[in-house]
Structure 1
Amino acid sequence: MPALLPTAIVGSLPKPSWLAEPERLWSPWKLEGETLVEGKQDALRAVVQEQRRRGIDVLSDGEQTRQHFVTTFIEHLSGVDFEHRETVRIRDRYDADVPTVVGDVRRDHPVFVDDAAFLRTLTDQPIKWALPGPMTMVDTLADRHYGSREKLAWEFAGILNQEARELEAAGVDVIQFDEPAFNVFFDEVRDWGVAALERAAEGLRAETVVHICYGYGIKANTDWKASLGSEWRQYEQFFPLLQQSSIDTVSLEAQHSHVPVDLVELIRGKRVMLGAIDVATEQVETPEEVAAVLRDALRFVDAEKLVPSTNCGMAPLPRRVAQEKLSALAAGAAIVREELSSATA
């Protein structure tokens, strides 16, 4: 792995068409039983091979073994009823039918640990695993038991910490917590969101990442982004809190976004996982477009702390497009890496 600008993806990659319906979130599985288990492992093999072939340094599972980055974790917990679903407003911008909390939430068994252990057998490169963050979990279901988003978030934080510790023991090098809800509920982020996130990451030796984006490239998200004006300054609300937190790395989106890049200064000292690939378009970036975003960010983050990445997950994209975007990410990082090496030679 290169010492400078190691590349990584944020979360999902498109699943093969024989495993699930392409270009769709919450896509149902096409296989069942032991055949599904085998199919998921084959998909993991494929995404590891593809990331390596395309030049990605920190390898991910691409969320091949789960239907959704939040609900797949929740469905393995006790106290949550998936039969009696309710319609709630998610991230304050779109409605979805979600499961309901009906009792004390508990993790009775590991959720992703076996999958992560299998991923570990496929490569000697560093591996990263993503978990939903406590606030985003709360925002992706209905609560008929706790009556407090904060109290439920703290329960989830403890459960996530159990899972994260076992993922670390299974050989995961980087553990990422996805918190898109941070971009919406600023008062809650200040009151308890960052503290709950730190509880989820408590005691980990693995590198910890919090990923905060503007969402998948689906219509509800693109419509919302179109309403945010010429500058997206949401990160400004909580970056100072994250800069003071125990989280190692902050992941944000930059390619084709209206986030002022100087906001990265607010997390000075942290590692920055910078989104240099736009997941809301099928247009594949050129390596130079990727490099330009990275160069811009280097005015506000030390090169040793910059990790070129994607804006968000790529599950809704055509598989070929996502793969070509991986190549563009690696090629753009290589351009800037060479420039940095030449400057210090």
Structure 2
Amino acid sequence: MTAISSTIGYPYIGENREWKRALEAFWAGKTEEDELLKVTKEIRLSRIQKQKDAGIDLIPVGDFTLYDRMLDTAVMFGMIPKRYNWNGEHVSLSTYFSMARGNKETVACEMTKWFDTNYHYIVPEYEGHNLQLTANKPLQDYREAKEELDVKGKPVLIGPYTFIKLSKGYEHTDIPAFILQLLPLYEKVLLELQEEGVEWVQLEEPVLSTSISKEEMKIVEQIYAQLRKAVPELKIFLQTYFDSVDWYEETVSLPVDGIGLDFVHGLDKNVENLKTHGFPSDKILGAGVIDGRNIWRSNLQEKVNLLNDINGNLKTDAIWIQPSCSLQHVPVTLASEQKLDTTIKAALAFADEKLVEVSTLMKAINGGVETITDAIEKSVRACENLAQLPARNRTDVLDAVQSIANSDAKRTSAFTERRLKQEEAFNLPILPTTTIGSFPQTPEVRATRTKWRKKEITDKQYSDFIHEEIKQWVAIQEEIGLDVFVHGEFERTDMVEYFGEKLAGYVFTEKAWVVSYGSRCVKPPVIYGDIAFVEPMTVDESVYAQSLTDKPMKGMLTGPVTMLNWSFVRDDIPLKDVTYQIALALRKEIEALEAAGIHMIQVDEPALREGLPLKKEEWNEYLDWAVNAFRISTATVKDTTQIHTHMCYCDFNHFIDAISALDADVISIETSRSHGELVHAFNTFHYDKGIGLGVYDIHSPRVPEVNEMVEIIEKGLEVLDVKQFWINPDCGLKTRKHEETIAALKNMFTATKQVREQLGALSQN
């Protein structure tokens, strides 16, 4: 058996987020296009060189992006919505970034979660217009790597069926027409790669790891039969990831030369399929045995055993050893971390360390386990030392989770009773206006926080500064006329990190950044131990803000499921148990807020949807404990305390019943980028609680017109009762500038006022 080392993708942000800085300098007009392209080329080549130096045999090219790979694919095929007024020739960066971020005249394309990750992709829009190949990006990147680094890379593309499934703008019956437009363009890309002398090309089809139908699998078979005819000499490697493949026999029978399977997140089922149905002798298996989505070091002895088990069921004479998915979901390098506890650091592996793990396992297969004895011993010892930490073995926390009863997840009264009490307590107008939580974090806010962290200013100086920011924005909210206020969250870096720093069981990194969307990078906290409440985390700022106004002030927390899904999570106990630990800790914070006089409390769950398993048959189990965790957090408050929650970009239509089951008094969700499509869910599902359909997109610098927001509000009122409808932006406003935030909120309030007046006139007639 011969092993070859391979990667599926590698982080593109740079060790110090050079990519992010280059993009944002360009967007701000501080640099020109030539400088952006120069810097990003340097990053692109350095990451290829790094993989080459690590001993990776098959290095992907074409996985680098200036914003998002789904957007890259849409632009490459000329799938550019008409509203951008593209001339049909070269696609400028202006058009590209307008699709991603919008501009002063045009809204951006919709954005949603990439399967069950925290990465957001730009949703391609098919409008039935003629598509064309605008540029062969994989070929360009292949040539660049070959000429600059003497690397004959493995060009990678989003596979055609995954691209189709994740696009919008067509009905199911239109899929054949879409394929007829799209497939010749894929063929042309592949043919040009074949003519260039490329040996392997990677087509990524993660949609095969979801619950697709037999009919859909037939379409996949037809697509790949057609591609095979078009490029008989080019070796096609079909890459799946994030879970096991449902249609295993059909997938391994596709006319391709190799297939990549996830032996981490789809381990049990993929191994079972391999043992039951075998694997074709004429294909290469890509064994994704290194976790590409989490940061824990591999126990190399376990991985060697797994590979031996896999090899025992193969008839082919070669295997690719690789991560389970692209490494873009993990930070770049552990070398940047200088302050971590030594036991914890020894148990971690970021992208660079995972490259070493891949190469090490390749040596074990090719040269025998004795060639990596030291590496195996170090990995086993590191994992054992982590498991023995007292923080991982807190009996008080473990006992509390085991003692949770059904009654712990139920409010005292039903929503219908709570609603009447809350209406009397708050006396809000129809269509109450509010925001989601955060206000702009200016350079001054960030700089002051940095000074405080470096102990260049005292705790009191920092607290006074935060109070001044809160005071300023309370006054702005008063001036605009909003009905329910927020304090602005100026004391918070990240909505998960802030809370994690104040809870037991978390540890934090210095430079472990990953991309969330666009240039937005996050530094997920690490859950390494048992989670426990230590002391109040938000009471001071919320109470101070409430003292400045007679309007209701929302207390702001991040919910237990989002705390889980936006962290790198320990992998030694079930996710359910970790989430319940967080829920019990947050319950104490909510009780502290209520005791301090805060009677509107928002517990955000933007990541509830992204944790949904790829297999539909597993949805109910996940939603049961995820919803239960939220309710455990919020169940002990009084009827007159109003619980809010917020959710970000995702497809809610398929689990609107779970949203209702949260039993939150008010929920706010995104609708602006999806142009109000979400409201259709309420045509078939009777939602009886308060709901805010976000009326403008905060991820775009554009200030929406009043009439646009009026239209979205009116669409919502077609399916929702006016008494349950709240008005708010899509999401928090921390990334927006001061002036555009105020302008957009003023327009939002004006739009609300217009609709209120229209409703008042109608009621008089």
Give the TM-score taking structure 2 as reference length: 0.40
Q: Whose radius of gyration is greater, 1 or 2?
A: 2
Q: CA RMSD in A?
A: 2.5
Question: How far apart are 1:96 and its partner, in Å?
Answer: 4.9
Is 1:310 the counterpart of 2:310? The answer is no
Partner residue, 1:288: 707
Structure 2 CA distance for partners of 1:185 and 1:144, relative to 1, 3 Å: closer
Counterpart among 209, 212, 233 of residue 644 in structure 2: 209
Partner residue, 1:180: 606
Is 1:261 the counterpart of 2:679? The answer is yes
For 2:556 and 2:592, locate their aligned partners in 1 and report how far apart those are by CA, in whole Å: 13
Kept in 1: contact 2:496–2:525 (CA 8 A)? no
Structure 2 CA distance for partners of 1:309 and 1:190, relative to 1, 3 Å: same
Is 1:52 the counterpart of 2:485? The answer is no
Counterpart among 210, 232, 246 of residue 663 in structure 2: 246
Is 1:14 the counterpart of 2:447? The answer is no
After TM superposition, list the pairs within 5 Å mapping 1:66-145 onto structure 2: 66-83=492-509, 96-144=522-570
Gaps of 5+ in 2: 1-426, 613-618
Question: How far apart are 1:140 and its partner, in Å?
Answer: 2.2
Question: How far apart are 1:198 and its partner, in Å?
Answer: 0.8
Q: CA-to-partner distance for each residue in 1:51-106, whole Å, 9 max, x for gaps? A: 11112110001112211111101101112222588677879xx9854332233221
SS of equivalent to 1:209? strand
Question: How far apart are 1:243 and its partner, in Å?
Answer: 2.1
SS of equivalent to 2:652? helix
Higher strand share: 1
Higher helix share: 2
Q: State the one-letter code of the partner of 2:647.
A: I
Partner residue, 1:227: none
Question: How far apart are 1:245 and its partner, in Å?
Answer: 3.8
SS of equivalent to 2:726? strand
Question: How far apart are 1:149 and its partner, in Å?
Answer: 1.6
Kept in 2: contact 1:70–1:131 (CA 8 A)? no
For 1:150 and 1:88, locate their aligned partners in 2 and report how far apart those are by CA, in whole Å: 24
**Range 315-324 or range 243-252, more displaced:** 243-252
After TM superposition, list the pairs within 5 Å mapping 1:228-243 onto structure 2: 234-243=651-660
Structure 2 CA distance for partners of 1:310 and 1:264, relative to 1, 3 Å: farther
Structure 2 CA distance for partners of 1:336 and 1:98, relative to 1, 3 Å: same
Considering Cα pairs closer than 8 Å and 6+ residues apart, tell me whether 1 or 2 has the greater RCO.
1
Partner residue, 1:220: none
Question: How far apart are 1:156 and its partner, in Å?
Answer: 0.6
Kept in 2: contact 1:210–1:249 (CA 8 A)? yes
Question: How far apart are 1:340 and its partner, in Å?
Answer: 0.8
For 2:429 and 2:513, locate their aligned partners in 1 and report how far apart those are by CA, in whole Å: 47
Is 1:193 the counterpart of 2:626? The answer is yes
Q: State the one-letter code of the partner of 1:200.
A: S
For 1:84 and 1:77, locate their aligned partners in 2 and report how far apart those are by CA, in whole Å: 18
After TM superposition, list the pairs within 5 Å mapping 1:152-167 onto structure 2: 152-167=578-593
Calculate percent identity across the aligned residue pairs.
Answer: 26
Kept in 2: contact 1:161–1:200 (CA 8 A)? yes
Counterpart among 137, 143, 151 of residue 577 in structure 2: 151
Structure 2 CA distance for partners of 1:89 and 1:325, relative to 1, 3 Å: closer
SS of equivalent to 1:79? strand
**Range 50-59 or range 9-18, more displaced:** 9-18
Kept in 2: contact 1:14–1:317 (CA 8 A)? yes
Kept in 1: contact 2:566–2:607 (CA 8 A)? no
Counterpart among 714, 730, 738 of residue 319 in structure 1: 738
Kept in 2: contact 1:85–1:99 (CA 8 A)? no
Q: State the one-letter code of the partner of 2:721.
A: D
Q: State the one-letter code of the partner of 1:190.
A: L
For 2:716 and 2:472, locate their aligned partners in 1 and report how far apart those are by CA, in whole Å: 32
Structure 2 CA distance for partners of 1:212 and 1:315, relative to 1, 3 Å: same
Q: State the one-letter code of the partner of 2:485.
A: L
Kept in 2: contact 1:11–1:130 (CA 8 A)? yes
Q: State the one-letter code of the partner of 1:251.
A: S
For 2:477 and 2:510, locate their aligned partners in 1 and report how far apart those are by CA, in whole Å: 39
Kept in 2: contact 1:84–1:99 (CA 8 A)? no
